[in-house]
């Protein structure tokens, strides 16, 4: 697992656990945190997290969990 993502996990285990529950596996979480979802306008979820926009990540995970296209 990449060092930056490991640092996120160490700081915010609740967020990682939620992402793993929604996305299905730690491998999927790693892939998602380094992807560029349109909803984050050219940024990765990891970059959004590092900007302190944690609530936005929780909101998007909730949308994914409920099948709402983002």
- The per-residue pLDDT string of the chain (70 residues; one tens digit each, 9 = 90 and over) reads 677 777 777 888 899 999 999 999 999 999 999 999 999 999 999 999 999 999 999 999 999 999 987 6
Half-sphere exposure of 39 (CA within 13 A, CB side): 16
What DSSP element (H or E) covers 9? helix 3-11
Q: Quote the CA–CA distance of 21 and 65 in Å, as a whole number.
A: 9
Coil, helix or strand at residue 51: coil
Task: Parse the chain into domains and list their residue ranges.
Answer: 3-65
What DSSP element (H or E) covers 37? none
Q: Quote the CA–CA distance of 29 and 16 in Å, as a whole number.
A: 8
pTM of the model: 0.85
């Amino acid at each position: 697992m990449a060092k930056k993502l490991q640092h996120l996990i160490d700081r915010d285990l609740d967020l990682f656990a939620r992402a793993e529950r929604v996305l299905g596996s730690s491998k999927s979480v790693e892939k998602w945190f380094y992807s560029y979802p349109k909803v984050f306008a050219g940024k990765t979820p990891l970059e959004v997290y590092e900007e302190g926009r944690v609530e936005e990540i929780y909101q998007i995970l909730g949308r994914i969990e409920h099948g709402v296209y983002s």
